[in-house]
A = this chain, B = another copy of it.
């Protein structure tokens, strides 16, 4: 152990900066700082991070390969959107993959990791008194990361995170356009808080298989609720 590198053991200042900028932009997209449809300018971003366009384009290229951006010659680089059908496809897949965390090389988490889960539970609890969409998205993201870390199967971890990034912003954006947005948000936060509580309980007794089942159920129900809300909104106005 050399210190605090989060995941990759890749040395090299250039690579580190690349990963850093990538993570920042990805988070901005997923937290709706850059909502779907937003146009980004390479030059502005290059200036912000104090690099030239060349290394920045390397980052944008990866985000494009992962489906979060789309660059068009002569037009610009825009944050992508997904239709309800594409959203459903990703959710169906995530539902199946959730269960695999408890089946493929599950790792009993260190006490430090369990502490992080409890910290998220506390943040989710505070959210109930003081609803905040961005904080909700943030907690949700960190929770997903921690969960993905419960498997030693690295490809599975990467895929889980990748699919999450592709859908989470769409969930927020779709929900925010519905009339029942505030109630929905509170409902979701309440359910989310229960999910974390359930999963923390499962982790504390070392039953990672149950973690997978709980998570699977919640992903499936979360999409179902969104889908039904969106559908009823189509019919009523």
Contacts and interface: CB of A to CB of B under 8 A. Distances in A.
A57 B18 CA distance: 15
Interface string A86-118: 100110110010001001110000000000000
Contact of A12 (B58, B72, B90): B72
Interface stretch (A28-36, A129-137, A152-160, A180-188): A152-160
Nearest to A166: B155
Q: Which 7 A-B pairs have the closest CB atoms?
A: A89-B153, A92-B104, A93-B155, A93-B156, A90-B155, A62-B65, A58-B61
Q: Tell me whether chain A's interface is mostly helix, strand or loop, or mixed.
A: helix
Interface residues on A, range: 20 to 34
A177 interface: no
A159 B66 CA distance: 11
Interface string A130-165: 000000000000000000000011111001000100
